[in-house]
Chain A
């Protein structure tokens, strides 16, 4: 490698280039357009509802909640699908070999994939949520700082789901990974509640509560209902704790992913 090449191959630049490849590929995939079609259908539905008339503030809030929830859900679906296929597809197409032959560590490769998957999900969330938010008339009071926190928490949630999907893609088959991560995202908190409730009052109650805390609780990162309920923003301390919670989960996902990926035969 010459001096210019060595200089240009800083870790940050390498991570950026890997991610850029993911973004370019995502734009070419059909999932994005399927989700955009759904967004267009939702928009058409809201516009029809507006034309017919939204008769009371409660219905306006209901439609707004529906729109933001759908936006967050669709973004999660896209983030899971995008992240889960990255490594299996590169292995199958054998494109991973020339990439890793470059001055790029496996951890950097994972980091590049992760930020791009997060960005894909986040941009989908922003676009769809903006469509919903603009289209639906705001007939009740909502806290603008809470809206900002809702978006930030959504991005944290997408970052975590992308990291979790990447980890799963190294350890288990693709389809199983997608299903498993989706189950954790949408039913993880219910499962945790189920186990804790079953153990309640018994000798293992504390253990069950402790164990289930390791299952990432995406329900805690969904602030849409809090926003549409007209509740104020979380105090900075609480939001910081939430961010720390996600950061620890992310760091653990990366550590486990890097560990598993280093030992994986390509």
Chain B
């Protein structure tokens, strides 16, 4: 130990550490028991989960909550992740409002969530409550709530992906908002997501949709390079999905398939349907029929694909 002969080789080896660091990936595995939707819901039903409460909330979850407040112009509505449902029935997502904003004024829901600051009729605080309603962002919960464009949310999704590059959901939702006004940037965002999450089939699926949209020029012409790119994305998405989806997945018993959720199943079916539609529009009818039949068999039957295959077969 007295000599210093060992120090230089040690430091030299350290300089080459990056060559080794990339090979150490013990937590890079596909099926994650703890992230399964069923497991989350079953855990959340328990008293232990209720006691621990918000302690389990991750930074990304907090940012999702933040995005919801932003989306409602700062008006704090009760979270759409219904806390009663969460504690009593363990439902993580109480409705289909899973980041895709698909409700509007016409689709007004009578069980629409109330605001965090209550209405005058329900507020025992009197003048203090009135003051809060006037000073802080507030809107009458009996009126349809107004959404911002979603563009303001984008920095949050960017923050989420920066703090956790494996947050596939943040890439999905961020790109979904971005694809309307800036499809090129949305595609770039998704490409970054794909680089960080090469196994997540949802990202090339969405990237394929955006590339397909970009392939259609304003004057009706088709961009062949974009078309080829979309094709690559759809091929990648279907290949990844078919590799990841557990064999014989049963939608009635998702609890038997940890690592795969109904959300993934929806995206998986969406990915193959888009691939077939794309084949129909840009490839050959026979290939589209072949794909529809093959993918339907893969899922053990899919009504949409079966109907599409029949319709294509009956076309002249």
User: Do A and B actually bind?
Assistant: yes
Interface check A255, CB cutoff 8 A: yes
CB within 8 Å for A229 and B1 given contacts A249-B17, A252-B14: no
Contact B48 A255 (CB under 8 A): no
Interface check B251, CB cutoff 8 A: no
Interface check B213, CB cutoff 8 A: no
Report the separation of the CA atoms of residues A55 and B46 in the bound assembly, to the nearest whole angstrom.
7
Contact A59 B46 (CB under 8 A): yes
CB within 8 Å for A220 and B27 given contacts A197-B162, A209-B18, A248-B14: yes
Contact B11 A252 (CB under 8 A): yes
Contact A197 B161 (CB under 8 A): yes
CB within 8 Å for A200 and B195 given contacts A58-B43, A242-B24, A244-B20: yes
Number of interface residues of A (CB under 8 A): 56
CB within 8 Å for A194 and B10 given contacts A58-B42, A63-B48, A229-B32: no
Contacts of B1-22 to chain A: CB distance below 8 A: 1-2, 4, 6-8, 10-11, 13-14, 17-18, 20-22
Contact B7 A255 (CB under 8 A): yes
CB within 8 Å for A201 and B192 given contacts A220-B27, A226-B27, A251-B13: yes
Interface check B93, CB cutoff 8 A: no
Interface check A143, CB cutoff 8 A: no
Task: State how many angstroms separate the Cβ of B58 from the closest Cβ of chain A.
Answer: 12
- Other-chain contact of B29, A65, A105, A217, A229 (Cβ < 8 Å): A229
Contact B26 A220 (CB under 8 A): yes
Task: State how many angstroms separate the Cβ of B142 from the closest Cβ of chain A.
Answer: 39
Nearest 8 interchain pairs by C-beta? A213-B18, A252-B14, A251-B10, A255-B7, A213-B21, A255-B10, A58-B39, A107-B1
Task: Show 24 A/B contacts (Cβ-Cβ < 8 Å), sorted by A.
Answer: A49-B48, A55-B45, A55-B46, A56-B46, A58-B43, A59-B42, A59-B49, A62-B48, A62-B49, A140-B33, A197-B165, A201-B192, A210-B18, A213-B18, A214-B14, A225-B27, A226-B29, A229-B31, A241-B24, A242-B26, A245-B20, A251-B6, A251-B13, A255-B14
Chain A interfacial positions (CB closer than 8 Å to B): 11, 49, 52, 54-56, 58-59, 61-63, 65, 105, 107-108, 111, 140, 153, 190, 193-194, 196-198, 200-201, 209-210, 213-214, 217, 219-220, 222-223, 225-226, 228-231, 234, 238, 241-242, 244-245, 248-249, 251-252, 254-256, 258-259
